[in-house]
């Protein structure tokens, strides 16, 4: 018999974790690379507790807060019909052939239901980030960097918001090791509600955090625009009528001019002789009045008069008044024409101040919104059924409801199960990672028991919600149920189990 090598001895003193492809050897008292699994006395344990959601009651009373794992679970505090076992802390199906960690049966309105619960390892995943601001953060397709590494890019803007597409398999695995690590860490932080510093190539520095105001070049954004320049003209035309001779709403996308706009025409607004230096689209609507930037209305303007040509002397008259304002009401100025028909800035008259405030109050608070996006692949579906395509068809046919940590998701049309979910609708720290690198996200599939049987589900591994709450362990699960935690259903989320 050959003597054992020092490496053999080191491995012998450890246990091997098979929860992800890294397959860590973990020493007693230590955790794996993901910090989610550990060796406790030679047993592999899940460090994060299983999360059980409690139904929100409509009596206006106080809801049960989070409790730590040391508190004893009192089954009287939450009944099975008011409980939903989420995948947060449930564990994975890796290496794919295993049934999901929890396949839970419950009864809803006398109908047998099944919820299949597991944490998915998402190699194909990312985050779509919506930044409520008109400020130019960078050109479309510009790289977004964290710690100097590319983690995504600027994509097409939406109404009043700039958009980022972050992550994806090419950044996670298609670049260098550091790029993959930084991308994974960025996605994990954003999805768990932490702030991340990032830089856009040829653009702005950003500090983004889900549910918080974005910080752009060190400035905290306050509000989202009420509308484009044309829409703002239309909304407030009647409120400016007979109070000022001309109104211009400066906007990087569509600058509005009251006297030319159809809204002004309908209420009988007279011509002012104004000339806008931009590309005229339709009457009173101008494109490309300036370059994008962080100034007035998302342009690079610090002086809005730069978009004006000479007033027509056949129409304009000395003393004629002009209000120029941005789409958020953050920038505004009042002018009167002198004898040479040149606008001269003067103090804002009291009669117009309330209209500026009206624009401000119609702007929503600026927020950063983060949506996790991922594709449910083979391991997830195989944990539900031995014939994975049947699950895909069941989801498409609306027989199976998909949730993440109990939160509703959007399922993209087309092939596969590609989902998107608002990260603020999940419980805190619902996302994890494995150093392959990939994100770990909770996912639940809920359906009627008859439908679960019909799609070839792992019926021999079903355990009742009563057994889960009582701390019993199913045949496929070595999870320590004594450390589970409960949390209250978020008010904006529907109850996930509905027949």
Q: Are 256 and 214 members of one domain?
A: no
Q: Are 108 and 12 members of one domain?
A: no
Q: Are 235 and 340 members of one domain?
A: yes
Angle between helices 229-240 and 350-361 (to 10 degrees): 140
Query: Is 405 inside a domain boundary?
Result: yes
Q: Which of 337, 361, 385 is the last residue of a domain?
A: 361
| Domains contained in the chain, number | 4
176 vs 162: CA distance, rounded Å:
28
Q: Are 453 and 387 members of one domain?
A: yes
Residue 95: what pLDDT? Answer: 73
How far from 120 is each of 46, 434, 461, CA to CA, in Å?
A: 15, 11, 19
Q: Which long-range contacts (CB under 8 A, 24 or more apart) does 16-19 make?
A: 17/44, 18/94, 18/95, 19/91, 19/92, 19/94, 19/434
Residue 300 per-residue DSSP state: S
Q: Are 155 and 274 members of one domain?
A: no
Q: Are 71 and 23 members of one domain?
A: no
How far from 421 is each of 361, 412, 431, CA to CA, in Å?
A: 29, 11, 12
Residue showing tokens 């701390």: 471
Strand pairing class (215-216; 219-220): antiparallel
Q: Are 130 and 207 members of one domain?
A: yes
Q: Which of 173, 194, 220 is the last residue of a domain?
A: 220
Query: Is 27 inside a domain boundary?
Result: yes
Query: Is 496 inside a domain boundary?
Result: no
Residue 58: what pLDDT? Answer: 55
Tens-binned pLDDT, residue by residue, of the chain (499 aa): 444 444 444 556 788 887 777 788 888 878 887 777 788 777 777 777 788 888 876 544 444 443 333 344 444 455 677 889 999 988 887 777 789 989 999 998 889 999 999 999 999 999 999 999 999 999 999 999 999 999 999 999 999 999 999 999 999 999 899 999 999 999 999 999 999 999 999 999 999 999 999 999 999 999 999 999 999 999 999 999 999 999 999 999 999 999 999 999 999 999 999 999 999 999 999 999 999 999 999 999 999 999 999 999 999 999 999 999 999 999 999 999 999 999 999 999 999 999 999 999 999 999 999 999 999 887 789 999 999 999 999 999 999 999 999 999 999 999 999 999 999 999 999 999 998 899 999 999 999 999 999 999 999 999 999 888 877 665 455 455 555 688 888 889 999 987 6
Alpha-carbon torsion (261, 263, 265, 267), positive or negative: negative
Q: Look at the pTM and tell me if it is higher than 0.85.
A: yes
Domain that holds residue 195: 125-220
Instruction: Report CA 413 to chain centroid distance, whole Å.
Output: 19
Residue 65: what pLDDT? Answer: 43
Q: Which of 177, 199, 220 is the last residue of a domain?
A: 220
Query: Is 214 inside a domain boundary?
Result: yes
No. of helices (H) and no. of strands (E), the chain: 10, 32
Compute how many other C-beta atoms are within 10 angstroms of the C-beta atom of residue 291. 11
Query: Is 368 inside a domain boundary?
Result: no
Q: Are 211 and 292 members of one domain?
A: no
Return the SS3 of 481: helix
Query: Is 418 inside a domain boundary?
Result: yes
Residue 481: what pLDDT? Answer: 52
Strand pairing class (321-326; 247-250): parallel
Q: Are 388 and 471 members of one domain?
A: yes
Query: Is 1 inside a domain boundary?
Result: no
Q: Are 387 and 411 members of one domain?
A: yes
327 vs 353: CA distance, rounded Å:
15
447 vs 398: CA distance, rounded Å:
9
* Residue 35: Cβ-neighbour burial (10 angstroms; 0-12, 13-18, 19+): exposed
Residue 477: what pLDDT? Answer: 53
Q: Are 41 and 55 members of one domain?
A: no
Q: Are 347 and 243 members of one domain?
A: yes
Query: Is 453 inside a domain boundary?
Result: yes
| 392 and 416 Cβ atoms separated by less than 8 Å | yes
């Amino acid at each position: 018999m050959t003597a054992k090598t020092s490496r053999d001895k080191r491995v012998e003193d450890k246990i091997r974790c098979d929860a992800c492809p890294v397959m860590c050897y973990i020493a007693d008292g230590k955790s794996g690379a993901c910090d989610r699994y550990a060796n406790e006395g030679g047993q592999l344990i899940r460090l994060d507790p299983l999360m059980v959601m409690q139904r929100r009651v409509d009596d206006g009373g106080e809801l049960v807060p989070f409790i730590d794992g040391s508190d004893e679970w009192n089954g009287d505090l939450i009944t099975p019909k008011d409980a939903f076992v989420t995948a947060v802390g449930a564990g994975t199906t890796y290496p794919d052939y295993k049934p999901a960690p929890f396949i839970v049966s419950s009864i809803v309105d006398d109908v047998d239901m099944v919820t299949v619960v597991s944490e998915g390892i998402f190699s194909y995943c990312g985050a779509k980030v919506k930044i409520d601001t008109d400020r130019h953060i960078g050109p479309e397709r510009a790289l977004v960097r964290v710690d100097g590494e590319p983690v995504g890019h600027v994509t097409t803007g939406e109404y009043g918001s700039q958009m980022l597409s972050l992550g994806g398999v090419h950044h996670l695995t298609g670049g260098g090791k550091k790029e993959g690590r930084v991308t994974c860490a960025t996605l994990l932080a954003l999805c768990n509600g932490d702030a991340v510093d990032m830089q856009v190539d040829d653009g702005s520095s950003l500090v983004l955090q889900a549910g918080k105001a974005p910080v752009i070049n060190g400035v905290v954004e306050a509000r989202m625009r009420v509308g484009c320049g044309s829409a703002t003209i239309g909304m407030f035309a009647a409120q400016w009528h007979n109070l000022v001779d001309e109104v211009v709403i400066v906007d990087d996308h569509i600058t509005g001019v009251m006297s030319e706009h159809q809204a002004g025409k309908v209420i009988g607004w007279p011509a002012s002789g104004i000339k806008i230096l931009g590309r005229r689209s339709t009457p009173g609507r101008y494109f490309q009045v300036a370059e994008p930037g962080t100034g007035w209305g998302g342009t690079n303007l610090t002086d809005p008069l730069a978009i004006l040509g000479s007033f027509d002397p056949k129409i304009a008259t000395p003393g004629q008044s002009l209000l120029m304002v941005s789409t958020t009401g953050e920038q505004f100025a009042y002018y009167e024409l002198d004898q040479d028909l040149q606008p001269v800035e003067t103090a804002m008259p009291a009669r117009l101040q309330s209209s500026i405030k009206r624009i401000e109050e119609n702007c929503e608070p600026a927020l950063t919104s983060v949506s996790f996006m991922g594709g449910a692949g083979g391991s997830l579906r195989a944990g539900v059924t031995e014939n994975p395509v049947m699950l895909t068809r069941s989801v498409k046919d609306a027989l199976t409801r998909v949730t993440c940590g109990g939160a509703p998701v959007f399922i993209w049309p087309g092939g596969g199960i590609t989902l998107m979910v608002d990260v603020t609708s999940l419980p805190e720290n619902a996302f994890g990672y494995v150093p392959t690198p990939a994100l770990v996200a909770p996912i639940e599939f809920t359906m009627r028991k008859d439908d679960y049987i019909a799609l070839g589900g792992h019926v021999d591994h079903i355990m009742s919600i009563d057994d889960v709450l009582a701390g019993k362990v199913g045949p496929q699960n070595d999870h320590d149920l004594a450390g589970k935690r409960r949390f209250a259903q978020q008010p904006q989320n529907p109850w996930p189990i509905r027949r």
